[in-house]
Chain A
Amino acid sequence: MKREPIEWPVVALGATFTGLGAACAAPGRVLVVERTMLVGGERIAAFRPGESWHRETATDEGRKLQQEFIERRLIGEEGAAHLPAMSPVLFRWIQERRLRVRFLTEIVGIEPSGDGYMLTLHDASGLSRIRTRHLLDTTDERISRLLLGNAGEDLENQHSGKAISAMLHGEGELPADKVIPIEGTDGNAIVTAGLLPGEAMLRMPLRKEADWPEARQSLHDFWRGRRSEWSGWMIAAIADVMTAEAPRGPHAVAAGWTWLPSGAYANGLQAFDAGNEWMRKEELGHDLVKTS
């Protein structure tokens, strides 16, 4: 296999809306590393609808992406979105803009190296190493925190609010009260209407430490025991990504290491803008200063 160049100015962890936004700002300078084969997974595969997708975007690229979503009828006039079909659009952007995205690849090691980091990656071809000047972690759980000692330990407790979601299907209107108390807890599940008729997304909070077996079983038990007004609504699909609430970034983890969680925004377009703006200011500004 022909390997990528070994030096990347920026490595974005996560093919999230933020990660792709950063890559779009400078396609030849950002390598996006994504553990799964998902794009925008923190929204799309997570069934996290957000809101106000129709509001004005902050960047040119964000505006173009929004426009394409609108043209393909994926965003409604009131800002709701049909999430599942957004994936192919993002894949089209990856191809058209020649974004460098490595799917089914994960970072398994980080070591300081010069003024940046040496990253060890693992994928279907095995282990490999690349060097980067800046690691941009766009995951909500800040998964890079696990990789290097105490880096960013002051941020340790700042992601919270884990949840699992499901895509519901039903006929007719949703019940008026879309907040559903969860028996035996202080928490509530929340249902949000999707863009298309019959489509809604259920979000059920979990313990911060909940793993996938707990998440699946909890969701199953909760929905099995749901109130009668919800009996006409059924689980059609379960999210492949759990969500976590993260504080809006950017957050400096260490020199050359930033956490910019993609799920911290009202919708994927804002997250995309955040990555795009960050890349323009932080990295391109850095180079402009160097060359001026």
Chain B
Amino acid sequence: MILSKRVDDEQLHEDVGSVVFEQSYDLIVVGLGTAGSVALLAAARRGLRVLGIERSNGMGGVGTNGAVLCYYFGSKGGLYEEIDAEAMALESEGYAPSVGINGELKKLMLERRAFEAGAEIRYEATLTGVYRDGKTVRGVRWFEGGRQRGAGAAIVLDCTGDAEVCAMAGCETRFGREWDCQPQPFSNVLVVWDGKRVTFQYTDSGYVDPTDAGDLSRAVVESALQATHLKDSYEEGPRFLKLAPQLGIREGRFIRGEREVTFASYVGDDVTEEPLFYAYSNLDNHSKDIAFESELQRDWTVVGSLWGLNFSVPVPVGALIPRGYDGLMAAGRCIALDHDLAGCVRMKRDMQKCGEAAAIVAAAAIAHGVQPREAPYAAIKPLLQETGCLRAENHVGLKDTRTHEDELNPRVRWLTDEEEVREGLAGGKPGLAIWSARREGARLKPKLKEWAAQTADSNLRRHAAFALALLRDEAALPALREALRERDSFVPRTSRKYNQVRGYAAIYLLGKLADESSVPELLQVLKEAETYRNPTTDVEFIADDCEYGFQYYSFALMALGEIGRRHPGARSVIAEALLREASRDGMSWMISFKGGRITNIKHDMTAKLKEAARRIVQGWEADEAADATGG
């Protein structure tokens, strides 16, 4: 048998010969956070002999130790609702009223019910190794109470959030977005008394790689020094109760699964017919440097301003199974997603469902004597439906969200009728129409060209051009160039917030179409962006003049990069400008993270932009060198 560990940040696989475990289980759940706590309970209730290993001293993860007490969308239904209700019922027994679900009581109830169901739990236990025969996981090793311990299991369920078990076992994983592997920002949460109840506060605190110990330590320290936490005096304002003992990590490693659930697959309607549950939210990306996001996310968020459109995503069992591995599953935010779709598929309700579903799949697999991938869906589905984990009504399709009270949000659908599309493009909320036109593709192109060519209706012209550009049709160019020249400050009202300015959305599209003739104007944007005045009003996304200029600058930078990539003849002019920018003194891009506007907490993005400029040029130089050598 092999014992796989991480040593000095590298994989180490040690042949330990024959291993006889002192204890063996049907299921070992590693990590009793949002997904793992529910997985443990669900498995125990199904009669599995289950062990839970948790590094902290309590269950529940971000909703308890992490003190994020409220829900943000996600689908209703499932075992977690029983626990939530019980936790809230206990509040009258001597607890201060709390927003959302009282974290201390949820921790208590999860544990109480897990023990009642027969689960075993090891707290303050740290995973240190994975036992496997080839690609079949047999058990885990952990450190607890001063010594290393081990146990075997038919199935190990990785609910660590960062796929630590899977990473140790040698599974393929991925991390962050394509451009620079950056994940979503994290938060450092404060628990406070606001005069009426226990509540929580946070701003986004920056970026961290949760798989890097040094970066984690840095993040722990720096995030506690923000103005929300470190004050001149604490006599005024909400009274501190504690700093949450767990960072709010939104994104870490993802496994590469037997089936990948990506934003591209969702957009392409390539979704499973055999869901374990439906995830539901908007593409909630907290980052503001969206010029560096994937092309598809930029299409959605920038061109469509569709940040606020909620959608339901069916999640299949294959997303919970690391590719090519037996005896191992994952649940929680580390399942087989990509960075883009993880912005939607990470909400607490859905992660709790994920844990429950994983336990049900594991139980079915064990009952049928097969690996999880072979567990019959026909046997699993009724069990998921029984608790409400899987509910047909959760597959809402699309919702135009105006409020967190989701029952009030109307369902919408993609438009197919030409007149509806025209009306949408001509209005102030064009996003649904823009994306619908993209979906319709060639069928609507003649009309899109007609609308983009007319000049009587500016919104119709420019939004039709947006749709054409998404279809890579150069008929979009005249209207896009116009929007660039004018630095078009129009902001649609497609989403409840985070709508994108039409001027720099046009810049993005000019880059997408590699419009070489736009190079002089784009270089001008680089020169003058720091002088732009912010006319927008969504202060949470663009707080001031600097942040407005930042968006123009970053989109111009990336558009020039794309143009140069496809037009080698334009590279020398662009490269000269980019290298000048990369070394220019006095540049300063101080950008707030989400929530930061309220507190004026700024983060310096200057180095990131300079590095992007250098990287673009270096990429061309590498391409040219490879071409020269015939490589």
Contact = CB atoms under 8 A, between A and B. Distances in A.
Given A88-B230, A127-B6, A224-B93, A143 B104 contact: no
B126 A108 contact: yes
Given A37-B246, A102-B213, A124-B213, A82 B94 contact: no
A44 B234 CA distance: 15
Contacts of B58: 212, 216
B5 interface: yes
A291 to B, nearest CB: 32
A238 B193 CA distance: 13
Contacts of A104: 213, 216-217, 220
Given A1-B213, A127-B8, A73 B233 contact: yes
A89 B221 CA distance: 10
A204 interface: no
A212 B57 contact: yes
B224 A88 contact: yes
B94 A72 contact: no
B121 to A, nearest CB: 7
A91 B224 contact: yes
B212 to A, nearest CB: 5
Contacts of A87: 224, 229, 243
B355 to A, nearest CB: 20
B216 A124 contact: yes
Contact of A143 (B107, B123, B146, B232): B146
B104 A238 contact: yes
B121 A167 contact: no
A236 B65 CA distance: 14
Contacts of B123: 211-212
Interface string B380-424: 000000000000000000000000000000000000000000000
A235 B216 contact: no
A213 interface: yes
Interface string A96-131: 000001111110100000000000001111111000
B193 A84 contact: no
Contact of B210 (A36, A101, A124): A124
Interface string A172-212: 00000000000000000000000010110000000000011
Contact of A92 (B198, B214, B225, B242): B225
B143 interface: yes
A163 to B, nearest CB: 15
Interface string B112-147: 100100000101101010000000000000010111
B419 to A, nearest CB: 56
A127 to B, nearest CB: 5
A82 B191 contact: no
A36 B54 CA distance: 13
Interface in B77-117: 90, 93-96, 104, 107-108, 111-112, 115
A126 B225 contact: no
Contacts of A211: 123
Interface string B221-261: 11011000111111100011111011100000000000000
A58 interface: no
A3 B9 CA distance: 9
Nearest to A168: B96
B18 to A, nearest CB: 23
B215 interface: yes
Interface in A134-148: 143, 145-147
B524 interface: no
Contacts of A101: 217, 221
Contact of A235 (B7, B94, B121): B94
* Interface-central residue, B6, B213, B222, by most chain A CB under 10 Å: B213
Nearest to B222: A95
B627 interface: no
B111 to A, nearest CB: 5
A204 B252 CA distance: 38
B213 A2 contact: no
Interface in B259-309: none
A75 B234 CA distance: 11
Contact of A216 (B7, B108, B124): B108
Contact of B121 (A1, A88, A123, A213): A213
B534 interface: no
Contact of A237 (B147, B162, B191, B235): B191
A45 B234 contact: no
A37 B124 CA distance: 13
Contacts of B245: 36-38, 45, 240
A224 B95 CA distance: 9
Contact of A127 (B5, B96, B198, B211): B5
Contacts of B94: 223-224, 226, 234-235
Given A37-B247, A108-B128, A235 B95 contact: yes
A146 B212 CA distance: 27
* Interface-central residue, A2, A126, A213, A216, by most chain B CB under 10 Å: A126
B220 A103 contact: yes
A2 B231 CA distance: 32
A183 to B, nearest CB: 15
A196 B111 CA distance: 33
Contacts of A145: 146
A100 to B, nearest CB: 9
B217 A102 contact: yes
Contacts of B124: 35
Nearest to A236: B96
Given A72-B233, A213-B115, A103 B8 contact: no
Contacts of A36: 56, 245
B128 A127 contact: yes
Contact of B221 (A84, A91, A143): A91
Interface string B470-483: 00000000000000
A217 interface: yes
A84 B242 contact: yes
A35 B143 CA distance: 12
Interface string A29-71: 0000001111000001100000000000000000000000001
Contacts of B112: 217
A199 B225 contact: no
Nearest to A194: B239
A165 to B, nearest CB: 11
A234 B95 contact: yes
B569 to A, nearest CB: 42
Contacts of A159: none
A85 interface: yes
A94 interface: yes
A286 interface: no
* Interface-central residue, A3, A71, A211, A213, by most chain B CB under 10 Å: A213
B10 interface: yes
Contacts of A125: 6, 8-9, 211-214
A169 interface: yes
A220 interface: yes
B333 to A, nearest CB: 16
Contacts of B10: 126
A260 to B, nearest CB: 19
Contact of B242 (A74, A89, A147, A167): A167
8 contacts: A3-B8, A87-B224, A104-B220, A106-B126, A108-B143, A216-B58, A235-B96, A235-B104
Sorted from nearest, which 7 A-B pairs have the closest CB atoms?
Answer: A146-B146, A126-B6, A123-B213, A84-B240, A88-B230, A91-B224, A234-B96
Interface of A: 1-3, 35-38, 44-45, 71-74, 82, 84-85, 87-89, 91-92, 94-95, 101-106, 108, 122-128, 143, 145-147, 167, 169, 196, 198-199, 211-213, 216-217, 220, 223-224, 226, 234-238, 240
Interface of B: 5-10, 56-58, 65, 90, 93-96, 104, 107-108, 111-112, 115, 121, 123-124, 126, 128, 143, 145-148, 162, 191, 193, 198, 210-217, 220-222, 224-225, 229-235, 239-243, 245-247
Given A82-B240, A95-B222, 6 more contacts: A87-B243, A88-B231, A92-B230, A104-B220, A212-B57, A236-B241
